[in-house]
C-alpha cells in the first residue's frame, strides 16, 4: 500500500469544531469515529507509521494536569498524522498566581493553531475555551466531567474483542464520584445500547447517577455476575482523607477485583482499566496481568482512536477549521 | 414642593388599600392618600397624571445586597449600587458586611453611610458583622454598630461559625430587638462544592452542595432562637428542607423569618447545562437547586411561610466570572431584575396578589429590620415605587446600572417593570418606557 495515502475512511467528517465530550455526539458519530480508528490502527502497523493527512496543521497539547499516557498518546497520534505538534505543560499552581486560562488560551490562539488538546482540572474548562477559540478544542480530560477519547478507545477495544457493544453487560467498578472516565464511558456505552452497571462504595457513587441510564449497586458480585466487560476505575489514595472509605486494605477486600470475583463474570470476560493501576487496591495483580486483561490493548488503541478524532475534526473530508 | 400622583392604583397593604386613589406628597413626606384628591392641593407644585395600569406602592426595600464598598470597588460601589437599586424600583437597601475591611466597627458603618449620603439616591441600611472580622471567634461591637446605624448583624458569606457564637449573638441582639441574619450552610457538608448536589451536578462532574447543608444550620439557629427568644432571619433560602424547618419553627412560635431570592423561585440547576454549559452566571451560593426546591420556594411564597423577597445582589467583575466554573466566585446581580421577575412569575403567574408582593418586598423587610417605610400612611417618608405591571421588559446586561453585569437573565423578557422610584419625595428614577410625565431629579 502506498504509505503516502491516508487509509480509506468514510467520506463524512464530524460536523463539530470541537470534541468536548461524548454528550455532544450522536451514536452514528461515535460509530464513525470507531470505524475511522480501525483504518488508523492499520497505519500504526505499517513499517512507516505516518500519513500526510494533517500536514501543515499545528496542534497544541495544553496540559494543566500531569499526564503521561494521554499526552504521549495524543502526541504520537498527531505525529503519525504529520501535524506540527507541541506540548505546553503548565503546573496548576503557577497558573493560580499568574495568567488566567482564558488569557493563556488567547495567546496560543493568536499563533493560529488548528487545534488545542486540553487537559484541565476544572469541569467545563473545554467548554469555556471552545466558546472563545477559533481553534478546535479536543477534551483530553476536564475535571470530573468527561474524558471522551478514553471512552472512545475503551469502546474500540470492547468492539474489537466482542464484535459489538449493544447488549453487552458492562460493569464499571471503583471511584465513580471522582471519575471523568466513568461519565464519558456511561454516556458512550448507553448510547450504543450496552447494559451498564456501576459499582463502588456508597460514598463514591454520585447522587442520581441512575439518571444517566445505568444501574448502580454497592455489591460488586452483583455487578460482575455474568458481565462481558469489567472496567476498573482507579482509587486515588487521598480519598481516605475525605472519609470515603476507611482503608485501602478494606477497599480491596470489599471492592477489589480478584480472580474469585472475575470468576463470576462470563468465561470470555475482558478486564479493562484506564490506568494508572494501583495493584492490590482496586485490582489484584493476578487479574491485571492475567489472561482476561486488555489493559495494554487499551493503551495501544488509544493512538488509533485519537488519530481518528483529530482526522475527523481537522482533516476530515468536509471540515476545515477557520484558523 | 408638593406633588400629587393622580389616577394610579394604590396598593398599600398596611393601610388596607388596594384601589384607585391619589397620593399627595409634601416635601419629603406623604401628606394624604384619598380618592379624587383635588388638584388644588398641589398648588405651587406638580400634578402627575398616571397612565392607566400603573401601581403606586410603598417603596421597595431589598434587605440583602452586597455593595462591595469598602474594598472591592471594582465590583460595585455604594454609588453604583444605589443607582442600580433605584433603577430596579428599590427605595432602600440593606448592605452586607463582608466588605474589606469587614463592617465590624462603627467607623466602617459611618463610611458606608457617608458614601450613601453623597450618592443621595436609595436609602442605605448597613448590616454589621456578628463576629469580629467575620472570623467566627468573638462578637463584634454590636451595640456600637447599632448606634452607628446598623440595622441587623450577620456573618453573611459564611454561617456563624459555631452554635455557641450563634447562641450568644441571638441573646445579645435580643437586647436591642435586632435580627441576626443567617447564611445557612454547614461548611463541612459544603466542602469545595460549587453546584447543587443532585443528578445535574453528578452528570456535569461538579462537586455538590446538598440542600441539607443549608437546612442543618437553619435548624440549629431556629432551635437557638427558640431557646434564647432572639430573632433569626434565614437569608437566601433555597432548599425545601430549610423551608420545612422554618415552617416548624413558625408553628411553634419561634421568632424566625426568612427570605427567598428571585433566582431560587425561578431557576433550577438545569441552567448549569443549558443554554450555556458551565455558565458561571448560573453559579451562586446557595446554588440553584432542583425543581422540587424551586417549587417549594413558590409554595412557601404562596402560603405565607416566606416573609421576604430579597435579591442577594452580588456583583462580580467580568474578569472574575470569565474563568473555569469551579474557580468563579458565587453570586449574581439582582437589583434590576427582581421587580420584573416578581411581577411576572409571582403576580401574573397567580402565585400571589400584587398586595402580597408589596408585603414581601416592602412591608416585611421594613418590619424585620425595624426601619421606616412599608406604608403610605400620612406623615411617612415619601418613599414610593411606581410599578408598571404590564410593561414588557427585556433584560439587557449592557444597560444595567450596576457596575457588574453578572446576570443569568440577559435577554429574558418579563411582563412587569418599574415606572418610577421616589425617595423622600424626590423622583430619583423615571423609566421613560413607562409613559410617565415626570422628570427624574438628579442627586
Q: Verify that B107 and B117 share a domain, yes or no.
A: yes
**Contact assignment for B326 to A143 by CB distance below 8 Å:** yes
Do B200 and B327 sit in the same domain of this protein?
yes
Whether B46 and B76 share a structural domain: no
Q: Is the pLDDT of residue B426 over 50?
A: yes
How far off is chain B from A170, nearest CA to CA, in Å? 19
Q: Which one of B199, B205, B324 has the shortest CB-CB distance to A144?
A: B205
Asked if the structure places residue B347 within a domain, the reply is yes
Q: Quote the number of domains for chain B.
A: 2
Position A9 scores a pLDDT of 46
Interface of B with A in 259-288 (CB under 8 A): 276-278
Lowest mean pLDDT among A63-77, A107-121, A238-252, B197-211: A238-252
Is the domain of B41 the same as that of B76?
no
Q: Which percentage of chain B shows pLDDT scores above 90?
A: 98
Looking at this predicted complex, what is its ipTM?
Answer: 0.92
B205 and B327 housed in the same domain: yes
Question: Higher pLDDT residue, A240 or B425?
Answer: B425
CATH number of the domain enclosing B390: 2.30.40.10
DSSP class per residue in B258-310? EEE-HHHHH--GGGGTSSSTT-GGG--SSPP--HHHHHHHHHHHHHT---EE-
Partner residues linked to A257 by β-bridges: A283
B374 falls within a domain: no
**B335-362 mean pLDDT:** 98
Within this chain, do residues B246 and B297 fall inside the same structural domain, yes or no? yes
Residue B16 in this model has a pLDDT that exceeds 70: yes
pLDDT in tens, B231-278: 999 999 999 999 999 999 999 999 999 999 999 999 999 999 999 999
Q: What is the pLDDT of residue A97?
A: 61
Catalytic residue annotation of B: 312
Q: B143 and B32, same structural domain?
A: no
Q: How confident is the model over B343-363, as a mean pLDDT?
A: 98
Q: Contact at 8 Å (CB) between B169 and B231?
A: no
Sheet of B180-182: strand order equals B128-129, B153-154, B180-182, B232-234, B256-260, B308-309
Which 140-169 residues of chain A touch chain B by CB within 8 A?
A: 142-146
The answer to the question of residue B301 being in a domain is yes
Same domain, B138 and B203: yes
Taking the model in full, what pTM does it have? Answer: 0.94
The proportion of chain A whose per-residue pLDDT surpasses 70, expressed as a percent, equals: 92
Question: In CATH, what number is assigned to the domain containing residue B206?
Answer: 3.20.20.140
Q: What is the mean pLDDT of chain B?
A: 97
Q: Give me the residue label for grid cell 486483561.
A: A293
CB contact under 8 A, B206 and A209: no
Q: What is the pLDDT of residues B70-110, one digit of tens each?
A: 999 999 999 999 999 999 999 999 999 999 999 999 999 99
Helix (H, G, I), strand (E, B) or coil at B108: helix
**Chain A residue closest to B197 (CA)?**
A207
The predicted-structure confidence for B44-80, as pLDDT tens digits, reads as follows 999 999 999 999 999 999 999 999 999 999 999 999 9
C-beta separation of B110 from B148 below 8 A: yes
Same-domain pairing of B292 and B167: yes
Please write the tens of the pLDDT for every residue from B110-138: 999 999 999 999 999 999 999 999 999 99
Concatenated DSSP letters of A198-256: EE--GGGSPTTGGGGS-EEES-HHHHHTT-SEEEE-PPPGGGGTTTSSS-HHHHHHHH-
- Residues B30, B62: one domain? no
**Quick one: residue B350, left, alpha or beta (phi over 0 = left, psi -120 to 50 = alpha)?**
left
Q: Give the separation between CA B236 and CA B182, rounded to whole angstroms.
A: 9
Query: What's the DSSP call for residue A135?
Result: S
- In this prediction, residue A94 carries a pLDDT of 53
Contacts of B385 (CB under 8 A, 6+ apart): B56, B57, B58, B59, B60, B89, B90, B91, B339, B362, B418, B420, B421, B422
Q: What pLDDT is stored for residue A323 in this prediction?
A: 33
- Mean pLDDT over residues B12-30, rounded? 97
In a domain, B315, yes or no: yes
Query: Residue A189 CA to chain centroid, in angstroms?
Result: 12
List the one residue out of B401, B365, B356 whose CA is nearest residue B383: B365
User: For position B250, what pLDDT does the model report?
Assistant: 98
- Residues B158 and B40 grouped into a single domain: no
Q: Evaluate whether residue B328 is within a structural domain.
A: yes
Residue B362 sits in the same domain as residue B389: no
Q: Does B198 touch chain A (CB under 8 A)?
A: yes
B309 falls within a domain: yes
For residue B102, the enclosing domain spans: 58-369
| Beta-carbon separation of B324 and A122 below 8 A | yes
Strands A136-142 and A169-173: unpaired
Our CA-based measurement puts residue B323 at a distance from the nearest CA of chain A, in whole angstroms, of 7
Amino acid at each position: 500500500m502506498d504509505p503516502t495515502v491516508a487509509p480509506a475512511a468514510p467520506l463524512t467528517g464530524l460536523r463539530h469544531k470541537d470534541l468536548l465530550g461524548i454528550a455532544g455526539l450522536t451514536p452514528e458519530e461515535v460509530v464513525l469515529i470507531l470505524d475511522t480508528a480501525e483504518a488508523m490502527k492499520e497505519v500504526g502497523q505499517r513499517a512507516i507509521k505516518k500519513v500526510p493527512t494533517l500536514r501543515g496543521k499545528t496542534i497544541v497539547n495544553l496540559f494543566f494536569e500531569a499526564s503521561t499516557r494521554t499526552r504521549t498518546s495524543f502526541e504520537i497520534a498527531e505525529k503519525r498524522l504529520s501535524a506540527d505538534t507541541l506540548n505546553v505543560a503548565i503546573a496548576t499552581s503557577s497558573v493560580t498566581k499568574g495568567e488566567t486560562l482564558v488569557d493563556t488560551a488567547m495567546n496560543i490562539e493568536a499563533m493560529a493553531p488548528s487545534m488545542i488538546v486540553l487537559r484541565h482540572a476544572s469541569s467545563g474548562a473545554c467548554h469555556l475555551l471552545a466558546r472563545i477559540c477559533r481553534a478546535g478544542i479536543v477534551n483530553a480530560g476536564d475535571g470530573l466531567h468527561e474524558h471522551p477519547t478514553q471512552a472512545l478507545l475503551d469502546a474500540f477495544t470492547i468492539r474489537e474483542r466482542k464484535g459489538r457493544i449493544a447488549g453487552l453487560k458492562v460493569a464499571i467498578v471503583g471511584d465513580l464520584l471522582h471519575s471523568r472516565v466513568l461519565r464519558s464511558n456511561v454516556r458512550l456505552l448507553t448510547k450504543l445500547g450496552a447494559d451498564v452497571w456501576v459499582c463502588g462504595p456508597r460514598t463514591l457513587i454520585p447522587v442520581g447517577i441512575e439518571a444517566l441510564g445505568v444501574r448502580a449497586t454497592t455489591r460488586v458480585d452483583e455487578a460482575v455476575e455474568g458481565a462481558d466487560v469489567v472496567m476498573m476505575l482507579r482509587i486515588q489514595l487521598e480519598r481516605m482523607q475525605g472519609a470515603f472509605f476507611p482503608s485501602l486494605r478494606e477497599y480491596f477486600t470489599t471492592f477489589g477485583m480478584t480472580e474469585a470475583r472475575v470468576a463470576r463474570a462470563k468465561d470470555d470476560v475482558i478486564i479493562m482499566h484506564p490506568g494508572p493501576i494501583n495493584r492490590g487496591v482496586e485490582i489484584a495483580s493476578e487479574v491485571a496481568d492475567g489472561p482476561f486483561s486488555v489493559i495494554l490493548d487499551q493503551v495501544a488503541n488509544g493512538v488509533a482512536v485519537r488519530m481518528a478524532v483529530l482526522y475527523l475534526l481537522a482533516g476530515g473530508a468536509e471540515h476545515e477549521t477557520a484558523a | 414642593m408638593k406633588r400629587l400622583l393622580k389616577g394610579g392604583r394604590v396598593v398599600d397593604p398596611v393601610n388596607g388599600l388596594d384601589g384607585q386613589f391619589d397620593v399627595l406628597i409634601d416635601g419629603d413626606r406623604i401628606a394624604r392618600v384619598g380618592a379624587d384628591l383635588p388638584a388644588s392641593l398641589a398648588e405651587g407644585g406638580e400634578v402627575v397624571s398616571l397612565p392607566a395600569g400603573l401601581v403606586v406602592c410603598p417603596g421597595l426595600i431589598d434587605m440583602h445586597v452586597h455593595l462591595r464598598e469598602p474594598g472591592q470597588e471594582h465590583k460595585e460601589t455604594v454609588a453604583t449600587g444605589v443607582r442600580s437599586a433605584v433603577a430596579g424600583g428599590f427605595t432602600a437597601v440593606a448592605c452586607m458586611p463582608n466588605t474589606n475591611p469587614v463592617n465590624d466597627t462603627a467607623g466602617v458603618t459611618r463610611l458606608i453611610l457617608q458614601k450613601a449620603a453623597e450618592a443621595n439616591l436609595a436609602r442605605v441600611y448597613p448590616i454589621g458583622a456578628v463576629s469580629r472580622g467575620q472570623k467566627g471567634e468573638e462578637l463584634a461591637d454590636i451595640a456600637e454598630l447599632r448606634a452607628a446605624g446598623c440595622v441587623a448583624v450577620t456573618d453573611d458569606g459564611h454561617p456563624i461559625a459555631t452554635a455557641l457564637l450563634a447562641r450568644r449573638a441571638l441573646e445579645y441582639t435580643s437586647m436591642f430587638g435586632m435580627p441576626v441574619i443567617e447564611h445557612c450552610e454547614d461548611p463541612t457538608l459544603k466542602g469545595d462544592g460549587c453546584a447543587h448536589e443532585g443528578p445535574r451536578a453528578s452528570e456535569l462532574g461538579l462537586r455538590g452542595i446538598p440542600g441539607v447543608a443549608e437546612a442543618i444550620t437553619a435548624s440549629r439557629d431556629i432551635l437557638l432562637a427558640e431557646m434564647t427568644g432572639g430573632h433569626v432571619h434565614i437569608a437566601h433560602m433555597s432548599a425545601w428542607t430549610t423551608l420545612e424547618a422554618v415552617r416548624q419553627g413558625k408553628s411553634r412560635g419561634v421568632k424566625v423569618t426568612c427570605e427567598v431570592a428571585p433566582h431560587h423561585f425561578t431557576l433550577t440547576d438545569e441552567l448549569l447545562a443549558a443554554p450555556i454549559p458551565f455558565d458561571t452566571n448560573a453559579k451562586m451560593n446557595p446554588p440553584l437547586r432542583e425543581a422540587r426546591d424551586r417549587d417549594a420556594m413558590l409554595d412557601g411564597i404562596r402560603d405565607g411561610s416566606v416573609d421576604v423577597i430579597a435579591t442577594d445582589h452580588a456583583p462580580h467583575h467580568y474578569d472574575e466570572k470569565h474563568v473555569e466554573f469551579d474557580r468563579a466566585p458565587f453570586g449574581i446581580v439582582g437589583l434590576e431584575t427582581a421587580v420584573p421577575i416578581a411581577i411576572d412569575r409571582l403576580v401574573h403567574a397567580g402565585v400571589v396578589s400584587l398586595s402580597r408582593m408589596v408585603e414581601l418586598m416592602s412591608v416585611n423587610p421594613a418590619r424585620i429590620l425595624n426601619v421606616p417605610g412599608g406604608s403610605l400612611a400620612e406623615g411617612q417618608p415619601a418613599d414610593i415605587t411606581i410599578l408598571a405591571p404590564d410593561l414588557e421588559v427585556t433584560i439587557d446586561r449592557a444597560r444595567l446600572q450596576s457596575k457588574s453585569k453578572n446576570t443569568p437573565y440577559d435577554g429574558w423578557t418579563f411582563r412587569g417593570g418599574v415606572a418610577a422610584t421616589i425617595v423622600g419625595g424626590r423622583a430619583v428614577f423615571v423609566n421613560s418606557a413607562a409613559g410617565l410625565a415626570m422628570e427624574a431629579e438628579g442627586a
